């Protein structure tokens, strides 16, 4: 298995490839043999998967039923359902045994159970693994030891916090002094983080970590399995980390490594954190009830971070706050706060999206949408490489046969042919897998039919619910960057092939419930890459749009003014001014 058995087959890459191959009329097999059904099917997965085998006429052989499964035999279905239950029970028992063993190792032995070491510590060798088989493989135990560079920083954080400094003041001070934050200090384990500077969250995480007292603490978090879609339980579950109550933590009986702060200092810090005005670990993020249509799509042009929604004077704004210490440490000239109002962007954006479907531009847009569906798709390169490898193998086989006809030793040539034939089969399998990953290309007629159903896209977007608009913008692959100096928003839409969101199973999910505006995304989602630039200052309006395909050539009918964006102007009335704090960006 390439993934956990609890994951539905359509969400397991190799299993999904096998199921997709069932629909191939030229497949190289007529039956699939399952050696251990309790490892292939979990829970009710058999009842959800076997109908595909039955539909495409592919036999499913299972030793326990003595041959292929008979779809009309109730005993066969009962046996396979039993194996699904056995598989589920086995997984649960293994999970319980592993967790029990890890709890005992953490409490009794004080063993370091893996993961990244806390900031201030580094890993040191603790001898061979006690399990002989793992020791034979070269696996060794590890323990925590103070890092001479970062351990003093931990002590400084606790001391400054107890002296009355806030989390932000501590973070700014560390950044100002040129001390690398945890993600910047250990890039190998934190490549997914920016490492720009210290944050309040990093300081708080250090203050809350009990392992700085020299004790091993395990089970601070646990994984919850929750349904991906409550309306489609066949999608299975996903896991989310959640914090456990302190009473559920597993503490080592004795100290296991050198402490960086005393137990007294740690307890004093915890008392301050949970005091009024402090920061409690149990604090949960509160989802705002405000509708922000560009949530997660608008970025600051100075620091390239996502801008946060902010509700001011009854209207939606987006802001980027960047402490001056962070800016100085990273050589960035960033204003203390950058604001832009949402309504200044929505109308020009909707007008831009709708302009592509204007009757005069409609034929050009449809052609661009057809041409751009697979342009610059890295999956095409993988297909071409695999196809070339198959062609090379076939060319060699033809040459070997010619050499054989010329009188070369048959034994030698037979070895060459067998080796090349085996390689050709491998490359053919890779080619088939690469082809299944390339989305189907829609015809010009299909796209035109969907686009015609839209009607006035601008009017529909204007009257749509904010959450629906947010979903459409997200599905369009919208990425906007706000430049406060030029008072300009640059938007790029790398439009996706389908209006539907990607199904967790790995395929498109047409059966998922769609919002009222989902059809709007379907026509736009086949469009070419577009780049536009909007001045949000008092004298700006969208007057022309650059419509380019994925190779960057400008589509006829649109005026090109710049290599990367169109700075739009018109003779219409200017935008109304609004007051703003710090740098005036609106």
So what's the pLDDT on residue 515?
A: 32
Low-confidence ranges of the chain (pLDDT < 50): 1, 278-283, 495-586
pLDDT 10s digits, 34-89: 988 888 888 888 988 999 999 999 999 998 888 899 988 889 989 999 999 999 99
Name the residue with tokens 């088989």: 133
CA 347/CA 469 separation, integer angstroms: 12
Residues 6+ apart with CB under 8 A from 146: 120, 121, 122, 258, 260
Q: For residue 545, what are its two tokens?
A: 């749009």
Q: Residue length, the chain?
A: 586
So what's the pLDDT on residue 512?
A: 33
Q: For residue 516, what are its two tokens?
A: 């009222």
Residues 6+ apart with CB under 8 A from 392: none
10 Å CB burial of residue 120 (0-12, 13-18, 19+) is buried
So what's the pLDDT on residue 473?
A: 78
* Most distant CA atoms of the chain, gap in Å: 93
Residues 6+ apart with CB under 8 A from 564: 490, 531
CA distances, 519 to each of 9, 451, 454, 510, 523 (Å) = 29, 9, 7, 12, 7
Q: Does domain 121-216+252-274 have CATH number 3.90.1530?
A: no
Q: For residue 1, what are its two tokens?
A: 């298995």
Tell how strand 67-68 and strand 59-62 pair up.
antiparallel
DSSP state of 118: P
What are the two backbone dihedrals, phi and then psi, of residue 482, each rounded to the nearest 5 degrees?
-100, 125
Bridge partners (DSSP) of residue 226 are 238
So what's the pLDDT on residue 253?
A: 92
So what's the pLDDT on residue 474?
A: 76
Computed from CA positions of residues 555, 561, 564, 565, in that sequence, does the dihedral angle turn out positive or negative? Answer: negative
What are the two backbone dihedrals, phi and then psi, of residue 356, each rounded to the nearest 5 degrees?
-65, -20
CA 387/CA 434 separation, integer angstroms: 10
Domain boundaries, the chain: 9-106, 121-216+252-274, 294-372+444-586, 378-437
CA 366/CA 371 separation, integer angstroms: 9
Residues 6+ apart with CB under 8 A from 427: 386, 389, 390, 393
DSSP state of 574: P
So what's the pLDDT on residue 97?
A: 94
Are 30 and 61 in contact by the 8 Å Cβ rule? The answer is no
CA 537/CA 569 separation, integer angstroms: 11
Are 58 and 24 in contact by the 8 Å Cβ rule? The answer is no
10 Å CB burial of residue 108 (0-12, 13-18, 19+) is exposed
So what's the pLDDT on residue 184?
A: 87
Collapsing DSSP to helix, strand or coil, 504 comes out as: coil
Are 158 and 167 in contact by the 8 Å Cβ rule? The answer is no
CA 171/CA 280 separation, integer angstroms: 18
CA 457/CA 170 separation, integer angstroms: 50
CA 64/CA 233 separation, integer angstroms: 28
CA 77/CA 68 separation, integer angstroms: 12
What are the two backbone dihedrals, phi and then psi, of residue 524, each rounded to the nearest 5 degrees?
-65, -25
């Amino acid at each position: 298995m390439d993934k956990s058995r609890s994951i539905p087959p359509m969400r397991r890459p190799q299993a999904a490839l096998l199921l997709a191959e069932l629909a191939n009329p030229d497949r190289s097999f007529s039956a699939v043999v399952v050696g251990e059904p309790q490892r292939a099917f979990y829970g009710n997965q058999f009842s959800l998967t076997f109908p595909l085998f039955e539909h495409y006429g592919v036999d499913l052989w299972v030793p326990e039923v003595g041959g292929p499964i008979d779809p009309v035999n109730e005993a066969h279905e009962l046996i396979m359902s039993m194996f699904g239950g056995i598989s589920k029970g086995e997984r649960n028992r293994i999970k319980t045994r592993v967790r029990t063993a890890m709890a005992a190792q953490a409490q009794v032995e004080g063993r370091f159970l893996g993961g990244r070491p806390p900031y201030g510590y580094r890993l040191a060798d603790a001898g061979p693994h006690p399990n002989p088989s793992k020791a034979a493989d070269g696996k060794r135990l590890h323990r925590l030891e103070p890092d001479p560079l970062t351990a003093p920083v931990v002590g400084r954080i606790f001391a400054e916090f107890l002296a009355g400094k806030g989390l932000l003041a501590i973070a700014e001070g560390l950044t100002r002094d040129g001390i690398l934050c945890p993600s910047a200090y250990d890039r190998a384990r934190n490549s997914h983080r920016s490492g720009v500077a210290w944050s309040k969250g990093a300081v708080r995480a250090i203050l809350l970590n009990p392992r700085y007292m020299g004790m091993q603490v395990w089970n601070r978090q646990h994984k919850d399995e929750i349904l991906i879609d409550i309306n489609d339980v066949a999608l299975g579950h996903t896991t989310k980390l959640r914090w456990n109550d302190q009473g559920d933590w597993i503490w080592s009986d004795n100290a296991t490594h050198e402490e960086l702060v005393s137990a007294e200092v740690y307890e004093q810090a915890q008392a301050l954190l949970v005091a009024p005005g402090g920061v409690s670990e149990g604090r949960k993020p509160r989802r705002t009830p405000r509708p922000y249509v560009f949530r997660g799509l608008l970025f600051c042009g100075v620091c390239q971070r996502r801008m946060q929604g902010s509700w001011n004077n009854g209207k939606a704004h987006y802001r980027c706050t960047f402490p001056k210490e962070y800016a100085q440490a990273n050589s960035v000239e960033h204003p203390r706060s950058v604001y832009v109002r949402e309504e200044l962007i929505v109308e020009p954006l909707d007008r831009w999206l709708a302009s592509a479907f204007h009757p005069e531009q409609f034929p050009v847009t449809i052609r661009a949408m057809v041409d751009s569906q697979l342009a610059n798709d890295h999956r095409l390169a993988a297909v071409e490489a695999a196809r070339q490898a198959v062609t090379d193998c076939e060319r060699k086989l033809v040459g070997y046969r010619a050499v054989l006809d010329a009188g070369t030793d048959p034994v030698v040539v037979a070895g060459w042919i067998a080796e090349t034939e085996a390689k050709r089969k491998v490359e053919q399998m890779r080619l088939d897998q690469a082809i299944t990953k390339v989305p189907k290309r829609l015809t010009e007629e299909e796209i035109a039919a969907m686009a015609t159903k839209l009607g006035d896209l601008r009017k529909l977007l204007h009257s749509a619910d904010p959450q629906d608009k947010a979903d459409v913008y997200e599905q369009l692959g919208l990425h906007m960057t706000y430049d406060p100096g030029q008072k300009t928003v640059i938007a790029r839409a790398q439009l996706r092939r389908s209006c539907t969101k990607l199904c967790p199973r790995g395929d498109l999910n047409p059966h998922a419930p769609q919002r009222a505006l989902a059809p709007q995304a379907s026509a736009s989602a086949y469009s070419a890459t577009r780049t536009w630039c909007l001045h949000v200052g008092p004298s700006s309006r969208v007057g022309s749009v650059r419509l380019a395909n994925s190779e960057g050539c400008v589509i006829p009918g649109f005026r090109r003014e710049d290599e990367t964006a169109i700075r739009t102007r018109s003779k219409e009335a200017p935008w109304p001014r609004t007051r703003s704090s710090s740098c005036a960006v609106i």
